[in-house]
């Protein structure tokens, strides 16, 4: 379980879903992501943002009337968060 000290305003479900999605997208760093999220509240916040962005992207992809430009924007956001997480994990070593 990930500690949420100092980040009580973050929806726990979004953070946990984001953490799970990040661990699936970055399998080589699963243990590191979990351990870092437990000790670094800002990474936990980033997981929440990632979870929310991915959930919105999933909904838009199912919606045939969704604007393709917005879908592309959310794909970019998700990719950028993945890059940010990777940087946090490897810059801290």
Instruction: List the one residue out of 8, 1, 78 whose CA is nearest residue 46.
Output: 78
Q: CA 36 to CA 92: how far, in whole Å?
A: 9
Residue range 66-92, pLDDT digits in tens: 999 999 999 999 999 999 999 998 885
Q: CA 70 to CA 57: how far, in whole Å?
A: 9
Q: CA 90 to CA 80: how far, in whole Å?
A: 15
1 falls in which pLDDT band (50, 70, 90)? very low
Residue 14 confidence (pLDDT) = 82
Q: Is the pTM of this model over 0.75?
A: yes
Instruction: List the one residue out of 42, 37, 39 whose CA is nearest residue 19.
Output: 37
H/E segment holding residue 44 = helix 41-62
Contact indicator for 19, 34 with CB cutoff of 8 Å: yes
């Amino acid at each position: 379980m990930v500690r949420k000290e100092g980040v009580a305003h973050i929806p726990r479900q979004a953070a946990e879903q984001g953490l799970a999605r990040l661990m699936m997208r970055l399998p080589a760093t699963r243990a590191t992501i979990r351990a870092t999220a437990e000790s670094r509240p800002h990474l936990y916040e980033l997981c929440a943002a990632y979870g929310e962005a991915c959930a919105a992207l999933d909904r838009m992809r199912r919606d045939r009337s969704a604007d393709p430009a917005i879908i592309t924007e959310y794909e970019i956001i998700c990719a950028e968060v993945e890059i940010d997480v990777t940087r946090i994990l490897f810059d801290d070593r």
